[in-house]
């Protein structure tokens, strides 16, 4: 009897230790386009992802577009160094570099970098297409398929301004965590359509602060963008938001230490 109790205890210790090794940080801090500002790094670069990881952020956000030849690449704007991403091939984008000398990262390269660690989650924003609704859906679908192919599901949560793209991503993988960014849907509508959370502009949440509790009561997460001043950070912490997306992760960490 005692021997089996000791054995059970041993198993519990072992599983707790392995869990600790794979647990993602739980500190609400989401670095917006990576942690770039304080170090002067290019937004959405591999270097900015590494810096968010180094800081210990819970998540590092980045933006995904699809080239004319259907390669998913990571960049904030629809154009990369003067080239429209949706109208350029991947080979054409490779002719230009980011200011730090990196080439434009592909989604696969970005995921591979993030999967070298298990502290910081990867918050994948797939961008709506300026060309067509079909392409918006395709970006959502291909993003989810790429994450599955890379076996990166554990690392990735999704966000999007495209309601169609979001629904397509959820249909492609019903276990995908997809939060919606535009701010025009109620928590109950999002819940009904299988979304994971609301991720709304701080101004929207201040106007509709009842949506915070409403969303959490429905089991949705609450995130806000892009929160760069201390007053807004304090307010969201007091409201018990699940995540805070910021260009100033260092500032948010400092502020949370004082709380
Ligand atoms: Mg974004």
Instruction: Express each pLDDT in 94-112 by its tens digit.
Output: 999 999 999 999 999 999 9
pLDDT value for 259: 78
Residue 107 vs residues 73, 113, 145, 156, 199: alpha-carbon distances, Å: 5, 10, 11, 12, 22
The rounded Å distance from CA 125 to ligand 1 centre is 6
The pTM of this model reads 0.91
Arithmetic mean of pLDDT, 113-128: 97
pLDDT value for 9: 60
The rounded Å distance from CA 52 to ligand 1 centre is 15
Arithmetic mean of pLDDT, 30-41: 98
Q: Domain spans of the chain?
A: 25-257
Band of pLDDT at residue 19, cut at 50, 70 and 90: very low
The rounded Å distance from CA 25 to ligand 1 centre is 21
Cα–Cα nearest to 66, from 132, 154, 149: 132
How many angstroms from the chain centroid is the CA of residue 137?
18
The rounded Å distance from CA 37 to ligand 1 centre is 15
pLDDT at 20 over 70: no
The rounded Å distance from CA 226 to ligand 1 centre is 9
Band of pLDDT at residue 12, cut at 50, 70 and 90: low
Query: Measured between alpha carbons, how far is 74 from 254 in angstroms, rounded to an integer?
Result: 29
The rounded Å distance from CA 17 to ligand 1 centre is 34
Q: What is the mean pLDDT of the chain?
A: 94
Q: What pLDDT, in 10s, does the model give residues 210-252?
A: 999 999 999 999 999 999 999 999 999 999 999 999 999 999 9
Ion ligand 1 neighbours (CB, 5 A) are 63, 125
Q: What pLDDT, in 10s, does the model give residues 135-180?
A: 999 999 999 999 999 999 999 999 999 998 899 999 999 999 999 9
Q: What pLDDT, in 10s, does the model give residues 74-84?
A: 999 999 999 99
pLDDT value for 7: 61
The rounded Å distance from CA 214 to ligand 1 centre is 24
CATH of domain 25-257: 3.20.20.190
The rounded Å distance from CA 254 to ligand 1 centre is 23
Kind of pairing, strands 59-66 and 72-74?
A: antiparallel
The rounded Å distance from CA 244 to ligand 1 centre is 13
Q: How far apart are the two ends of the chain, measured CA to CA in Å?
A: 47
Arithmetic mean of pLDDT, 38-61: 98
């Amino acid at each position: 009897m005692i021997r089996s109790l000791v054995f059970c205890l041993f198993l519990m210790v072992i599983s707790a230790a392995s869990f600790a090794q794979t647990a993602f940080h739980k500190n609400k801090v989401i670095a917006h386009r990576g942690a770039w500002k304080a170090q002067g790094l290019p937004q959405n670069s591999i270097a900015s992802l590494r810096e968010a990881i180094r800081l210990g952020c819970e998540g590092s956000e980045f933006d995904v577009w699809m080239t004319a030849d259907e390669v998913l690449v990571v960049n904030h704007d629809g154009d990369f160094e003067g080239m429209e991403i949706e109208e350029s091939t991947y080979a054409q984008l490779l002719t230009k570099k980011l200011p730090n000398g990196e080439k434009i990262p592909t989604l696969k390269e970005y995921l591979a970098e993030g999967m070298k660690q298990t502290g910081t989650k990867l918050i994948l924003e797939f961008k709506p297409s300026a060309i067509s609704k079909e392409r918006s859906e395709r970006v959502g679908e291909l993003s989810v398929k790429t994450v599955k192919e890379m076996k990166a599901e554990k690392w990735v949560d999704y966000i999007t301004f495209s309601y169609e793209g979001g629904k397509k991503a959820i249909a492609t993988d019903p276990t995908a965590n997809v939060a919606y960014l535009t701010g025009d849907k109620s928590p109950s509508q999002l819940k009904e359509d299988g979304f994971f959370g609301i991720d709304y502009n701080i101004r929207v949440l201040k106007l509709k602060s009842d949506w915070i509790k409403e969303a959490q009561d429905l089991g949705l997460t609450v995130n806000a963008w892009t929160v760069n001043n201390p007053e807004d950070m304090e307010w969201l912490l007091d409201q018990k938001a699940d995540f805070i997306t910021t260009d100033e992760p260092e500032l948010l960490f400092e502020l949370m230490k004082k709380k």
